[in-house]
Amino acid sequence: MSLSLSSAPFTRSDSQVQGIMAAVVLALVPATVFGVVIFGWPAFFLWTVTVLSALVFEAACLTLAGKPVKAVLLDGSALLSGWLVAMTLPPWAPWWIGVVGAGIAIVVGKQVFGGLGQNPFNPAMLARVALLVAFPLEMTTWALPSLPFSSSAPGLSDGLAITFAGASAVDGMTGPTLIGNWKTELSQGRGLSESLVSGHYNVVASLLGWKAGSLGETSSLLVALGGLWLLKKKIIGWHIPVSLLATVAVLASVFALIDGERYAGPVFHLTSGAVMLAAFFIATDYVTSPSSPAGQLIFGAGCGLFIFVIRTWGAYPEGAGFSVLLMNALTPVIDHYVRPRVYGRDLKGRPLDLPGGRR
């Protein structure tokens, strides 16, 4: 018998980084498939281009840094980042939007900081915000949903043209998002009741995802189901999603009660834009969120607050990206101040009093 020496513990759970990434990707599949189905070939092409470029950028950075390419690529983090970027893009955006987005996420968002686990900001949100600021036109041209193989759905060649040849979408195939429409109408003095009608707002359709919007964000229902599955699998904790969604819901309710014409209600807020994706998939990113449960509650609530504030009073119709980035910046501060109480110590970390006042 050759005895091998090592130090305790000698046993480990089966949990692996790859497994975690795979589970998150799996949870994204339903919402992504739905997006591809209702937005057609261009959405599929854009998704493919974005994910592949993320992998290529990751491989290139690893090669430059002299790190093992295959081993790190297999951890699945680049795949997930690319996938998340794709989900936040307008489905008919040109191919180079996907490439630039993936490049920003992987190179600027992650690898320059040292790779997995080192980045202060969520790579996907960094890419989204950078693209939105740099290419406002491409990032706000929204395709309308259509049933596959219906007359309004682009065929294979049309799809190729839209994604790769910069063909502009036929008029009538694009339209504003609900949330964008609400803001535009509001700026022209029309209240919520009018704008919702003109935007063909329907609660059920909105929840299911039958509306204009980002590739993988329109179906709040499928995104939420994926998130709940992650919760059940204990891949993510409940603290961030619950505090984020609750903050948005409470703020929306309060302001809707104050002025229902000016402020949208909680259902509208929770079923539009990127809120669900942010709550379950973006804000819960381990690397860029606080580690203590109390810190996570604060973090989630902060994200929710900024989302509501930017949507309601900001210049942009959607604030999820900015909000998450802002709170990412605060994460080290939250982690510094919010720590759990250690056994045998008080909340401030001082040893509990010994009997007789000794310390």
Partner 1 sequence: MFTLHRFHGGLHLDAHKEDSSFAPLATAPVPPRLIFPLQQRGGQNAQSVVRIGDHVHKGQVIARGDGPMNPPIHASSSGVVSAIEPRPLPHPSGLADLAIVIDTDGEDLAFETEAHPDYQRLAPDELRRIIFEAGIVGLGGAAFPTAVKTDPGHRAIDTLILNGAECEPYITCDDSLLRHFPREVLEGARILMRVLGVERCLLGIEDDMPEAIRALREIQETGEYQDIDVITVPALYPSGGEKQLIRILTGREVPTRGIPADAGVVCQNVGTAAAVYRAVVRGEPLIERIVTVTGKGIRNPGNWLTRIGTPIADLVRYSGGYSGAAERLILGGPMMGISLSSDALPLVKAANCVLVTGRGETTGPKQALPCIRCGACAEVCPVNLLPQQLYWYSRADNLRRVEEYHVTDCIECGCCDYVCPSHIPLVQYFRAAKSELVAKQRDRVKADRARERFEARQIRKEREKQERAEAAQRKKAALAKPDASEIQDAIARAKARKRLPDATPVTDGTSHESAPHQEPPRN
Choosing from 3, 258, 315, 347, the residue that interacts with partner 1 (CB under 8 A) is 3
From the list 45, 46, 148, the residue with the least C-alpha distance to 88 is 46
Q: How far apart are CA 230 and CA 175, in angstroms?
A: 33
User: What does DSSP assign to residue 56?
Assistant: H
For the purposes of burial, counting CB atoms within 10 Å of the CB of 354, is it exposed (0-12), middle (13-18) or buried (19 or more)? exposed
Q: Is 20 in the site for partner 1 (CB under 8 A)?
A: yes
315 binds partner 1 (CB under 8 A): no
Note whether 115 binds partner 1 by CB under 8 A: yes
Give min distance, CB of 65 to partner 1, in A. 13
Phi, psi (5° rounding) for residue 183?
-70, -40
Pair 264, 256: CB distance under 8 Å = yes
H or E element that contains 294:
helix 293-313
Q: Which stretch binds partner 1 (CB under 8 A): 6-14, 40-48, 164-172, 247-255?
A: 6-14
Stretch that binds partner 1, among 48-56, 113-121, 171-179, 308-316 (CB under 8 A): 113-121
Give just the sign of the alpha carbon dihedral 303, 308, 314, 320. Answer: positive
Nearest to 295 by CA among 249, 343, 328: 328
Q: Which is nearer to partner 1, 10 or 149 (CB)?
A: 10
Stretch that binds partner 1, among 55-63, 146-154, 267-275, 341-349 (CB under 8 A): 341-349
Q: Is residue 24 a contact residue for partner 1 (CB under 8 A)?
A: no
Q: 311 near 318, Cβ under 8 Å? A: yes
Q: 266: how many CB neighbours lie within 10 A of its CB?
A: 18
* Nearer of residues 7 and 150 to partner 1, judged by Cβ: 7
Three-state SS annotation for 212-227: CCCCCCCCHHHHHHHH
The string of DSSP letters for 147-176 reads -TTSTTS--HHHHHHHHHS-PPPPTTSB--
**Identity of residue 274:** A
23/245 with CB nearer partner 1: 23
Select 28 or 222, whichever has its Cβ closest to partner 1.
Answer: 28
Query: Which 133-162 residues touch partner 1, going by CB under 8 A?
Result: none
CB of residue 293 to partner 1, shortest distance in Å:
9
The answer to whether the CB of 209 falls within 8 A of the CB of 38 is: yes
Give the shortest CB-73-to-partner 1 separation in angstroms. 12
- Residue 349 contacts partner 1 per CB under 8 A: yes
Q: Which is nearer to partner 1, 234 or 262 (CB)?
A: 234
Nearer to partner 1 by Cβ, of 144 and 236: the residue is 236
d(CA 174, CA 6): 62
354 touching partner 1, by CB under 8 A: yes
| Nearer Cβ to partner 1 (190/339) | 339
Nearer to partner 1, 118 or 152 (CB): 118
Q: How far apart are CA 75 and CA 62, in angstroms?
A: 13
As a whole number of angstroms, the longest Cα–Cα distance in the chain is 84
For residue 353, state whether it binds partner 1 (rule: CB under 8 A): yes
Strand partners, 143: 174
User: Which residue is associated with the tokens 């000698």?
Assistant: 10
Residues numbered 221 to 260 that lie near partner 1 (CB under 8 A) are 237
Member of 63, 118, 152, 157 binding partner 1 (CB under 8 A): 118
Site for partner 1 in 276-305 (CB under 8 A): 286-287, 289, 291-292
- Using CB under 8 A as the binding criterion, the count of chain residues that bind partner 1 stands at 46
Is 347 a residue that touches partner 1 (CB under 8 A)?
no
Encoded one letter per residue, x for contact with partner 1 by CB under 8 A and - for no contact, window 37-76 reads ----------------------------------x---x-
Return the residue matching tokens 């409940």.
Answer: 238
Q: List interacting residues with partner 1 (CB under 8 A).
A: 1, 3-13, 15-17, 19-20, 71, 75, 77, 115-118, 237, 286-287, 289, 291-292, 335, 339-345, 349, 351-356, 359
